[in-house]
Amino acid sequence: MPEGDNVYQAAQKMHRALAGKRLAASDFRVPGFATLDLAGWTVLEVVSRGKHLLHRLAPPVTEDGDTGPGPHDGAGRLSIHSHLSMEGSWQVYAPGQRWRKPGHTARVALTAEDGTGAVGFSLGLLEVIPTVEENAAVGHLGPDLLGPDWDPARAEANLRADPGRAVGLALLDQRNLAGMGNIYRCEVCFLSRVHPATPVENVPDLAGIVALAKRLLEANKARPRNTVGGFGPRNGTWVYGRTGQPCLRCRTRIEHGTLAEPTPGTGTRIGETRERDIWFCPSCQPLR
Ligand SMILES: [Zn+2]
């Protein structure tokens, strides 16, 4: 499951590879877009929004220099909107380089005029929308932990809006704050000594949890791999995936559990799986 920092890194990498370049070819392998041809379109930028990715493209310039309707207000531009979901990835390829994943898992391949390519594999969500309508696709997201709109007070207020909800569920709900996946959810709760099932209203320092999440994602966004390295010993995790192993603080065995909404799926958006698995130290994180 990609976390916000993975998606941020993927966007940065594709931005460096493609921004400012014209596409020589596009190959969409999903229903609804299979006949779409973006050859001649220019990649303006690639950005992440929480765990969503947006490739923004400008239309081909016509012979009289017109870029189509409303050349300067973004009208006529398109955005490739994707979400990695559980298994997805975007990879960048040098000219002529072979794909590192099976071709049948490719959902879209973009090739720039210089031969540089980007291929999206096993994407949970892939659509092409007018850039001016991006808000309909990602506008439900709360403040982005790694975005220019980050607003810790708003994120905290969003979390507090449902005071009886388990904090471990509230933190994963991308409408509250965008960019956290299960690893960060579990690690942040451990580092804050809060059991993930604790109702939001019983969390002693919710602002501290929000600030910690921001610090962890910021610290990891430039790293080559998604680990909570530097936070857990030896680049590992404190609790995530460590069922039965001793707590690195107190030696109590780490427990695995599940956490789910009373009405599963409430508020779940396409491509945003709500994970049930949690790991915690029963001594360091007593349930309040
Ligand atoms: Zn412990």
Only one residue has tokens 């975005």, namely 147
Least confident residue range of 76-90, 198-212, 272-286: 272-286
> Are residues 178 and 144 in contact, defined by beta-carbon separation less than 8 angstroms?
yes
Q: Is the pLDDT of residue 124 over 70?
A: yes
Q: Is the pLDDT of residue 271 over 70?
A: no
Is the sign of the CA dihedral 80, 84, 89, 92 positive or negative?
Answer: positive
The crossing angle, in degrees rounded to 10, of helices 206-220 and 152-160 is 130
- Spatial neighbors of 55 by CB under 8 A, at least 6 apart, are 14, 18, 43, 45, 46, 79, 80, 82, 110
Tens of pLDDT, residues 196-227: 999 999 999 999 999 999 998 998 887 754 44
Q: Which residues pair with 78 in a beta bridge?
A: 57, 130
Cα 140 off chain centre by: 14
Q: How far is the CA of 108 from the centre of ligand 1 (A)?
A: 45
How much is the mean pLDDT over the chain? 88
Q: How far is the CA of 214 from the centre of ligand 1 (A)?
A: 23
pLDDT of residue 6: 87
Q: Which residues are catalytic?
A: 2-3, 51, 276
Q: How far is the CA of 284 from the centre of ligand 1 (A)?
A: 4
85 pLDDT band (50/70/90 cuts)? confident
| Per-residue tokens: 164 | 């009886």
| Per-residue tokens: 287 | 């349930």
Region 103-125: mean pLDDT is: 96
Q: How far is the CA of 246 from the centre of ligand 1 (A)?
A: 8
Region 23-52: mean pLDDT is: 96
Q: How far is the CA of 149 from the centre of ligand 1 (A)?
A: 35
pLDDT of residue 222: 78
Q: Is the pLDDT of residue 264 over 60?
A: no
Q: How far is the CA of 279 from the centre of ligand 1 (A)?
A: 11
The whole-angstrom separation of Cα 256 and Cα 125 is 29
| Per-residue tokens: 33 | 């877009």
Segment of 180-184, 274-278, 281-285 carrying the highest mean pLDDT = 281-285
pLDDT of residue 23: 98
pLDDT of residue 225: 47
> Are residues 23 and 110 in contact, defined by beta-carbon separation less than 8 angstroms?
yes
pLDDT of residue 229: 46
Helix extents (H) in 130-227: 134-138, 152-160, 167-172, 182-191, 206-220
pLDDT of residue 74: 67
Q: How far is the CA of 247 from the centre of ligand 1 (A)?
A: 5
Domain architecture of the chain: domains with CATH: 4-138 (3.20.190.10), 152-280 (1.10.8.50)
144 vs 266, residue with greater confidence: 144
Tens of pLDDT, residues 62-75: 766 555 544 455 67
Going by C-alpha positions, the residue among 205, 21, 183 that lies closest to residue 113 is 21
pLDDT of residue 135: 92
Residues near ion ligand 1 (Cβ under 5 Å): 247, 249-250, 252, 281, 283-284
Is the sign of the CA dihedral 102, 122, 259, 241 positive or negative?
Answer: positive
